Structure 1
Amino acid sequence: MRSAWDHVAYRVSTNGAFDPYAVEAAPVETAPIDTPSVRLTTVKTVTVKPVTEKKFSGITSYKSDPSQIVKSVEPQEKPKAGWKPLSLSTPILAAVITLTILLAVAIETLAQRSAAMGGLALSPSLDDMPEYARISYLYGPNTVAVLYSIIWSWIDLDTKRMQPWFELSKPKGATGEDSLFVDYQYDFVALVPFKSARKKHWPVFFAGTAMVIVFWLLTPLQSALMGTTAVVLTEPATINLSPVDDSIQAISPRQILPETEFNSTAFEFLLANGMDESVTLGDHPFNTPVEEQANLNSSGIFRPDNMVGYALAGRDNPTTDYSNPEILTNAFNEAHQHLFSLQVETLLINTTKFSNHTASVNYFLHGVVVSRDFAAVTECLLGVVAVFTALVLWYSRSALSNLPMNPSTLGRHVDIFRDNPELLHHFRSIDNFDDKSLLEEFRKDEFRLFYDRPSKSTRVAIQKAEQDPSKSIERRLIPQEGYYEPVKPWVLRRWSGTIFVIVLIAGIVGLCFLKQREKKLNGLYRPSENFEVLQLLENYLPTIFATLIEPVWILLNRMLCVLQPFKDLWEGKSKPSTSMDATYTSIPPQLVVWRAIKSRHFTLALVCIMALLANVLAVGLGSLFNEAAVTAKYPQVLQPVFAPRFDNSSVYDFPTRLALNTRYSGQYRPHFYVAMTNMSSGTTLPPWVSKGYYFQRHGLPDTNQSAVGDTYSLRTRGFGVNANCTPISDFKVPSNTTGLPQFQNDTAVCESYTDIVAGNLGSIRTTSNWGVVVAGEITPRWAGGVPPNVCDIPFPMAWGRTAEGGNINATIDASLVMCNPIFETAMFNLTVDPSGYVLDYQRTSDLQATLDYPESREHTDLMFAYFNRQMQFATYDWHNTSLARDWMNYLIFLSTGSRDHLDPKLPVPDSKKMAPIVEELYQLLYAVLLSLNEDIFDHSDLGESIAATRNSKEIRIFMENVSFIISVVILAMNAVVATIFYIRAVAFVLPRMPTTLGSILAYVAPSRLLEDSG
């Protein structure tokens, strides 16, 4: 149906009313603001008066004297159902209730699944999390919450704008203050529940409260519902591992192990003597007792019995502490328990029958976790919203509406109030009253909208309340002022705009500052370790900020929506579509943008876009902060423990000190044991040792001051050796070795290595009486003088085979690896754990063969000679088994996992394959030897402290780049649009805001648009 106001131009006149002129294209000039009043005039393009195609209502009124009734009509026929908005219909509200319940069910499902599985989208690390999972948890809940809030904005708006009509449609009507003069939709959203509760307008109360819950509780909580964290999972597993000591729990009473199962006498003999009573021939490391003298040097205890060494070695207690019986008892008891556990392991056999089949493994995964607490709160709030929605539905269905149409435009308000002379008479003379005066005029008057049977239309009845006649006469005698003060809502004033723009700019500055700190610190520090607290700070509060900005834009939007038609009317010659028929107030402000653009109301369109973008801002800010694991770096000052040079006296005394560290064999063996356990059992190398270097040790902070997983990065010097091993082609040892050199000590000339090897192989052959295939291995000493000379520096390692072990004239097949060690030192970037164990190292300087002091070459050569001698302690003999007769060949077996180099039935080992293996072992043993004998370095001048870095694995907060850009851009657009809006400002020309039915009625009552009925 075409509007009754088509082809009519309108403007606000100076007598405070709407006024159509019956002249063709008559121009009317705008009066100044300070004229006595305002009124609306029209300029028609035809000479006929505008009429509606159909009149929807009339006015039945009572004069001031209730006894003088102009016209009274009582309803005698059931009226037709009045108009109600679609959003308050049963299907829509029922669908919203269903949607609300489904959201609660979905959240509970995710929460239970998260609790059952430990998390969602579990991955080894946050970086390994699938992209779809990351996007879903960051943006999904916020997007759903924002869309849900838009739906509720629609319901909330229609509930608030319909409340006055529901009040008017009551059988007994309502007072003016409860009907014509309520403006819920233009109030700040947080104040509506309190205001409506005082007036007992329950539909508005429930809808307004639900809107507040959705706005400031559900939407932020949705963003805080999910987060990422590390979770510990436990699952059944088949394992072949040693349990952590702290996790061992006894499940049965202790029992004494009988002698039939464990020979305690043999065990005690082993503890006392370091070896079994009945010696069984085995590999060389197991043919002599383990000696702990080297680990007791600092205690002052000299060559103790084996058990004393086992009990006290590795402890930092001073010797005087052991005068305490309790400390001494604990030391021996712990040593007994440890050694027993090692011994009893050899008595156990494998079996597949277990009385307890349960085994579990704990491990860490990272994933999305649904907060159980927030999920419960969100579900409860959704339940409250569902109940409130049901109450809104019940009140909306039970509320009587006598509206003939949707009161969505100014023109339709005119149609509803047309032909009501008494009502218009009461409002015609107060067109320039302000809101307070207008309310006081009609506060207690009764108004009723009802269905009139004779005219088959709806009418409004007014019954003036009894008043003090003197006050009524006094009010009528007070002359109107020559001007009025235009209304200036606080939200439209420049001071409020200034505050708003400052808040927006502060938000931009705050986000940029946090981004800059994030880049500088490699992530923001977590203010708490509690998951819920972090979710509140990282997600809830940012979303709250966005939801506080949105109501401001919505309020601005609603003000402009109601003022825009009046602005066009004031400017004159306005089109019906942009003034009388503008339907801005009937839909949520965020959705007005298209209508505003179509009507060329671009300022309104910009404000609408900002209100719409506020929802996007909520998504952006809600997903802005995310967590990730990073390596945080902290400066640390470290002091070297020794200088990077050898101590002269310590180097020359080194052989003597090594001899004092032995009791039985005379061979210093701790570095061999370290290498053996590392290669056989995977134990770690000593602190500050890699497989090729020993690094200058620095004092590290106490491990109690370091977090789990902390590491230290520093630049330090490494000491190592290039074994420089050369493979010698296989050769034959002649049958006659008489005259070949064996252990000559000539400091000027070193004999040929092949001659030395041949002489040594020949010597062990002549002392053997084997009649079968035999093998022999030697690491002969070159010179053997004291002090060593240059001929002690090379390290030969040879293997021999002969098929005729008993024939001294038989030829021997031999292979040889000849090593000429070269000292190496360089600077390294080193990473160690809090105990000093090497995690990573990178060389940063060229390798050098000497240290920076004159005696360096002499000292390093002496160390090589002493080092070689410790590997040459062995009884060389022919053998017909594959057992190792020395440390080096046993370590080669551990390195290769094969005894082929020892097998007499196989050819001599290929020296080309053996050379790199010997090199690696030589480098490892040399580095370990230096670490176990740190006192050979100079401790008198330590040098300056160095700047190091403590690396700590931390979870830090990062700002998602996409969300950051979205948030900053939207806030910047908000600031620009707000600045433009408040600079241009709305022209304040009206005596009151047209936000209530009474205010609109007072504007249209004096107009000649209604004079045909007045």
Structure 2
Amino acid sequence: MKRTASGDINCSPWKPFALRAPILACAVLISWALIIVLQLLLAKSQRDSGIIFAANTSELPLSCSFLYLYFPTVIAVVYSLFWSWIDLETKRLEPYYQLSKSEGAFGKDSLMLHYPFDFIPFVPIRAMRNRHWPVFWASTVMVMITWGLVPIQAGIFATSTVTKSSEVPMLVPTGPLSLDQQKEIVTTQYMQSVFGITWLNETLPPYMSRLLTLAPFKTQSQPAYGYQETWSAKTTSYGLDLFCQEGKRKMINETEYYTSSNGCRFPTNLGLTGNNTIGGNAVLEVKEFSTFYVGYWNYIGEADYYLSDGSCPVEANHTFYAAFTRNKRLASDPPEQLTTIFCEPKYYSQEVEAMVTVPLQHPVKANPIGPKSPISPAIYNTSVLESRMNSAGEEALVRGDMPSRTWPSQIERISSMNLSQSIGGADLPFMAAFMIGASDHSLEEYLDPQILGRAYESAYRLIFARAMVDVLNTSWATTAGTIGTREYKTGAVILVPAFTYVVEGLLGVVSVFAIALLYLSFTRPRQLRSDPGTITAVMSLVADDTSLLSDFGHFDCCTIEDINTAIGKRKYCLEYDGKQSLIRQLDDTTPNGTATKSATSISPTRGISKPVRPIEFSLPAIVPFITFQVCLAVTLALLYQRSQPYGLALPSKNRIVRQTLQNYIPTAIATIIEPIWIVVNRLLCMLQPLEELRNGKATAKKSIALDYSSLPPQLVIWKAIRSCHFILAAVCAMALLANVLAIAFSGLFNENEVEVSYSTSLHQHFSDKFVSINGSVGPQNIFYANLDSDNAAYQGGKGMDQFYISVSNTTTGTDLPPWTDQKFMYVPFEVGEVTTSTEYLVATTRAFGAELDCTEVAFSADNSSTGTIWTDPRLKLATGTAYFSITVKDGNGNSTTCFRAGQDIWNAFGTGVQTANGDEDPCPKDPTALEAVLSVQALPNATQQQQSLCAQTALVGWARNPGPDSCTNNSTKPFDQTNSMFMACRPKILTGLAKVRVDNEGHIQDTTFAEDAALTPPSKELQNFFTNDPKNLIEQAHNYLFQLNGGVMGLAWHTDTFPTDFFNFEIKHAINSSRFLDPSLPLPSFRDASGSFSKVYSRLFAIWLGANQEKLLLPETRNSTLPGSRIDKEIRIFVSIPMFIISEVIIAIYILVSIFVYLRRPGKYLARLPTSIGSIIALFAPSSAVRDLRGTAHMSNQKRAQYLDQLDQRYGYGTRAPPKKIGSAPSIDEEQFKGDVAGTGRETTAKVAPSIMVVKAAFPVDEDDGKGFQSATIA
């Protein structure tokens, strides 16, 4: 048998483009390229901790997020389309490769193969059973890509928080402030900061820890800060070590002392003696424990005790003495044993490799790289610092924002402790109280001398470290360069190794199978000379073999099973005779010709009971498919609805499990739909030529020569649209949309941290009612108040905490007291059980606050309000005395005179007028300013009501003296509207219900009052919240807010723009301007002043309430619960709105197209589906149409199409009647047809079977009437 020939126009063996070497080689190279790219990206991800970085990856622009969210799926989908083309051609051409074998192939292994129409997952199994390895390899690749690579790649990329590190140039200041600069610049702000750090949890300043301070350093450039960023560089640390020893009792010159080894001593009969008995009243009360401290220096002259009086040698001038004791319970008890220590600090500097956090610059570590060196006296005078510790104040005032020269009092902080507030009638030493706050031990533990020494070491380190912050805080005017390290955490897109390796493995297998296909593309026999993708191509292959046509002519009404039974054991081959390729039937080699007998045993007139259509178009198939899509759409809608607003709970904490559920499974579901549409598409492509033939007048181009089978289903759409086959085009579009759906599903779910609200029951330990309050008790009568139950907020101390808290909040952002905001204090509540993820609680509770009603006071001789000042600059210790008298009215309009007299002016901080450089000039020539915040009192013979009215009134004012005569000798100068603006202010209590959101510690995050809430209830209603008269709350608050000390009342002339009282300090920061304080600017207007002062008053009043709420509110005795909610921060799964919309739209289109395809499905007019070469041959074998294709097997598809166009025949598919006899042979040209012919109503005679035939006119062919048919053919 001659297989080749030369000179023919189609002599070269034909193979589809998809199975040619360049395409298969490209498939191999693409697979390898993807593996290389993935491995490089994985290596980069593991080396650099990611491939895309951003502070918040969820906020990446689409141009970046597209690259890892959707682009990989796009590549996978395109890769899948590419392989679906190869897979289709492999399946389609396998029968012809089998027929091309030299020995031919059985009919069941060639003519009856129908791989393109099988469901994709089943093809590899069937191909393996048939040992059709190319189909096995290609179909296995498609299964791996469809249900492996496409969904699994969706889990390759994930977001995470990673750490990045790089070397960067750093700048380090060349030196700290000089001692002279320190005197001019460093203010008492550092001790206010120490107080805040110790007692208020204030944030530490940059480059400072509780142990040491670092010389600052920073990067030369200022990049955007990353999450948890740190800087590392070589710098200098400053700290101290404290060396302590127990005091030893020793008699010296008949006096007993506690002594140390360095020659220091302190008498045992001074300070703490161990012989105090628990008891007493007010601040003089002796509690269970007492403590004591004595420093060496007393430069300032305000220390009660000091060791520089000869108690220590000069060489031990840094030594201090401290004691701690438990006091006696009964006077008759023997004295308690004191714990006494002598300690000496050693201040040092040391070169370190330091790391600080960014942007706060807090030290994380400081690894020493050099020895400790004593701090040079030229850098910092530690003796002055120790003198300040012993005196709790500064030796000279350096003017600045802080309106106080003294260090913050800590008595209020220890007033609730079982620790005595005074020693021998004097205040507890500052360092003794500070030691308690700087360490974390119970009072009883301080009886251990080692713990007591470590506690003082903590206190000393904190004060010194904070003092050095101001010394080292330069302007970066002169710097030196060094190399440091920048390390930060940032959001990153990473590759998950497990998913990456799986995808690489799949690609590797795909490339191996592609190599196998490439090898077979060279070695397999190929006898085809043109594409057999059309009916005409198949006709041409068998048209010249009348014997074969005769055999297949008996099968026109047979089922697939019948035909397979008939020809399955017969052998056929595709041979090339030198001119054309033809399908031939080989001689029967089976015993006794059983294959031939089986073929001829099928009756040519055997009818069937029912014609068929593809089962995919049946109701039992379409209903589950549509139901699945409806359920999918509903499920997505429910997931979206459930994800609002808090998202869906994480199914697992394991990343791989979450990636599988969020990425792999949704993508796999989307890829399940695609093969279904592909099968439907292949079936329509197969039936579309027959649908055209049923019209009875189809041209060859639109019917038997129509090629839909040689293209992947997704690419048939354009040809279908051009041919006006819109149902087919719609199904093609659905196959394409399946790829879009896969992309949408791959990005459908994403994770984000969100606040989730849970309903819960809350409890309140305090009621919304105040205890009985004695309004006259407060820090003004510190030594005389009886600390009984009516004292409410006051339990000792100087009453300055509300100012310290406010300053810390204003300057460093320290939280206000729990349950306090800028205007109100809220009754606390709490939840019974707080989870680790609980961030906030929300409930409605009662709020209390106050606001001022202010009236401008006009001082003049013509009315009842006067303000005067008597001055004498020559007497520096008493340079002026002020007198104020004002008339105020109560709620009933009754007038009351309140006054303030005998208050010194100018020497509130020392002597003279405060100037910008800190000097005190008795008579400066520049303009000066003065602020006054004063409490007033009633006249001696006033009634109780009048006394209460004055106690609730504050006199506030601002004055200007333009100069140059700031003062004149022995003169009385009146305040009037030309040089001052004063106002009288009286508060009113506010209360109402508010919805409050707080964190775990009770700090207010958000509040909402009802729009119609009345915050100033009537007196009777207000009384429900108080045990006694509400005015007592105001009076006690004013004992704290308007005190007789310089830090509160002001009354100090100054030439600078710094405040002299805490109220104006707050106003300056609130309005972010010093215009109220600037001597060169006009006086503030009453409107501005009253508004600003009222806001500050409301804030300080709320802080005072919040700081003392446990003392002011009655305990809650009712066992009731408060409805509220617990808000937890959780990582939740959210449905992407764009992807959700795209998915729902695609699924909706699926449902509509599914219904449309079902309603317009092909009719039942086929005895079997023409899914194989054998079933197609049986369609035309007995017809006249096959004659037109005789002798055309040598033609190319293009030549054959031209030939058919020249014939200009019309083809149809219909019922064929038996031919009339002309002589002894049937006349094909005179075939008659059943049905209307050209719409004439004339029916054909004898009913046999529909067939394809050449026709002269159109004839419609109805679907089966239920009676079956006898034969079917193409003519």
TM range (shorter): 0.7 to 0.9
Q: Match for residue 936 of structure 1? A: 1112
**1:470-502 CA-partner distances (Å, limit 9, x unpaired):** 967985896759545767765455433333232
- Which structure has more strand as a fraction of its residues? 2
Q: CA deviation at 1:416?
A: 0.6
Q: CA deviation at 1:301?
A: 1.9
> Which of 932, 952, 967 is the aligned partner of 1:793?
952
Distance 2:438 2:819 in 1: 17
Distance 2:461 2:30 in 1: 66
Relative to structure 1, the CA distance from residue 955 to residue 222 in structure 2 (aligned partners, 3 Å threshold; closer, same or farther) is same
Contact 1:85 1:406 in 2 (8 A): yes
- 1:874 and 2:1026 are equivalent in the alignment: no
Question: What pairs up with 1:903-914 in 2 under 5 angstroms?
Answer: 910=1084, 912=1086, 914=1089
Q: Match for residue 81 of structure 1? A: 12
> Which of 960, 968, 971 is the aligned partner of 1:809?
971
Contact 2:855 2:985 in 1 (8 A): yes
Of 381-390 and 181-190, more deviation after overlay is shown by: 381-390
> Which of 835, 845, 848 is the aligned partner of 1:716?
845
Distance 1:854 1:624 in 2: 59
Distance 1:568 1:878 in 2: 106
Distance 1:478 1:471 in 2: 10
Q: Match for residue 801 of structure 2? A: 670
Q: Match for residue 521 of structure 2? A: 396
Q: Secondary structure at the match of 2:149?
A: helix
- 1:159 and 2:321 are equivalent in the alignment: no
Distance 2:984 2:84 in 1: 88
- 1:971 and 2:1147 are equivalent in the alignment: yes
Q: Secondary structure at the match of 1:683?
A: coil
Question: What pairs up with 1:115-154 in 2 under 5 angstroms?
Answer: 128-133=59-64, 139-154=70-85
> Which of 924, 927, 937 is the aligned partner of 2:1102?
927
Q: Secondary structure at the match of 1:559?
A: helix
Q: Secondary structure at the match of 2:120?
A: coil
Relative to structure 1, the CA distance from residue 527 to residue 656 in structure 2 (aligned partners, 3 Å threshold; closer, same or farther) is farther
Q: Match for residue 48 of structure 1? A: none
Distance 1:473 1:443 in 2: 10
Gaps of 5+ in 2: 172-204, 208-355, 422-427, 788-792, 861-865, 872-879, 913-920, 1192-1224, 1226-1275
Of 806-815 and 733-742, more deviation after overlay is shown by: 733-742
Distance 2:902 2:383 in 1: 47
**1:205-248 CA-partner distances (Å, limit 9, x unpaired):** 33223322332233334544556666666676979834569962
Relative to structure 1, the CA distance from residue 996 to residue 98 in structure 2 (aligned partners, 3 Å threshold; closer, same or farther) is same
Of 667-676 and 647-656, more deviation after overlay is shown by: 647-656
Code of the residue aligned with 2:622 in structure 1: it is G
Q: Match for residue 513 of structure 1? A: 638
Distance 1:213 1:328 in 2: 72
Q: CA deviation at 1:848?
A: 0.5
- 1:847 and 2:1009 are equivalent in the alignment: no
Contact 2:678 2:735 in 1 (8 A): yes
Contact 2:206 2:362 in 1 (8 A): no
Distance 1:503 1:375 in 2: 31
Question: What pairs up with 1:623-638 in 2 under 5 angstroms?
Answer: 623-627=747-751, 630-638=754-762
**1:724-781 CA-partner distances (Å, limit 9, x unpaired):** 344546879668899997799999987656xx4676569999x999963487665444
Contact 1:295 1:314 in 2 (8 A): no
Q: CA deviation at 1:971?
A: 2.6
Q: CA deviation at 1:165?
A: 1.5
Relative to structure 1, the CA distance from residue 169 to residue 461 in structure 2 (aligned partners, 3 Å threshold; closer, same or farther) is same
Q: Match for residue 24 of structure 1? A: none
Aligned residues: 932
Distance 1:663 1:961 in 2: 58
Q: Secondary structure at the match of 2:374?
A: coil
- 1:298 and 2:457 are equivalent in the alignment: no
- Name which structure has the greater RCO, CA cutoff 8 Å, separation 6+: 1
**1:336-355 CA-partner distances (Å, limit 9, x unpaired):** 54334324435546475568
- 1:358 and 2:534 are equivalent in the alignment: no
Of 712-721 and 182-191, more deviation after overlay is shown by: 712-721
Identity %: 27
Q: Match for residue 811 of structure 2? A: 680
Code of the residue aligned with 1:807 in structure 2: it is N
Question: What pairs up with 1:405-444 in 2 under 5 angstroms?
Answer: 405-424=530-549, 427=552, 434-436=559-561, 438-439=563-564, 442-443=567-568
- 1:501 and 2:672 are equivalent in the alignment: no
> Which of 538, 542, 558 is the aligned partner of 2:662?
538
- Which structure has more helix as a fraction of its residues? 1
Q: Match for residue 309 of structure 1? A: 433
Q: CA deviation at 1:795?
A: 0.7
Q: CA deviation at 1:305?
A: 4.8
Of 892-901 and 813-822, more deviation after overlay is shown by: 892-901
Distance 2:734 2:911 in 1: 101
Q: Secondary structure at the match of 1:250?
A: strand
Distance 2:1169 2:673 in 1: 23
Q: CA deviation at 1:701?
A: 6.3
Q: Match for residue 115 of structure 2? A: 184
Q: CA deviation at 1:179?
A: 2.8
Question: What pairs up with 1:730-741 in 2 under 5 angstroms?
Answer: none
Contact 2:100 2:526 in 1 (8 A): yes
Contact 1:832 1:840 in 2 (8 A): yes
**1:608-667 CA-partner distances (Å, limit 9, x unpaired):** 443343334334433433455654333243323322232224667666997679999963
Distance 2:1160 2:886 in 1: 108
Distance 2:780 2:958 in 1: 31
Q: Match for residue 467 of structure 1? A: 590
Distance 2:1145 2:869 in 1: 93
Q: Secondary structure at the match of 1:948?
A: strand
Q: Match for residue 1004 of structure 2? A: 838
- 1:819 and 2:985 are equivalent in the alignment: yes
Q: CA deviation at 1:548?
A: 0.9
Q: CA deviation at 1:873?
A: 2.0
> Which of 773, 782, 785 is the aligned partner of 2:936?
782
Q: CA deviation at 1:700?
A: 5.1
Q: Match for residue 132 of structure 2? A: 201
TM-score (norm 2): 0.63
Q: CA deviation at 1:792?
A: 1.4
Q: Match for residue 946 of structure 1? A: 1122
Q: Match for residue 241 of structure 1? A: 206
Contact 1:721 1:926 in 2 (8 A): yes
Distance 1:459 1:478 in 2: 25
Relative to structure 1, the CA distance from residue 536 to residue 846 in structure 2 (aligned partners, 3 Å threshold; closer, same or farther) is same
- 1:645 and 2:796 are equivalent in the alignment: no
Q: Match for residue 837 of structure 2? A: 706
Q: Match for residue 449 of structure 1? A: 574
Distance 1:974 1:893 in 2: 67
Of 413-422 and 378-387, more deviation after overlay is shown by: 378-387
Q: Secondary structure at the match of 1:724?
A: strand
Q: CA deviation at 1:81?
A: 0.8
Contact 1:727 1:911 in 2 (8 A): no
Code of the residue aligned with 1:840 in structure 2: it is D
Distance 2:834 2:968 in 1: 61
Of 400-409 and 858-867, more deviation after overlay is shown by: 858-867
TM-score (norm 1): 0.77
Contact 1:576 1:582 in 2 (8 A): yes
> Which of 1165, 1171, 1185 is the aligned partner of 1:995?
1171
Q: CA deviation at 1:879?
A: 6.5
Distance 1:902 1:332 in 2: 40
Q: Secondary structure at the match of 1:717?
A: strand
Distance 1:327 1:499 in 2: 78
Q: What's the RMSD between the two structures over aligned residues?
A: 5.0
**1:780-831 CA-partner distances (Å, limit 9, x unpaired):** 4422789852111111134665846572225355633432222223333333
Gaps of 5+ in 1: 1-71
Q: Match for residue 53 of structure 1? A: none
Distance 2:840 2:907 in 1: 52
Q: Secondary structure at the match of 1:185?
A: helix
Q: Secondary structure at the match of 1:302?
A: coil
Code of the residue aligned with 2:809 in structure 1: it is N
Distance 1:638 1:885 in 2: 45
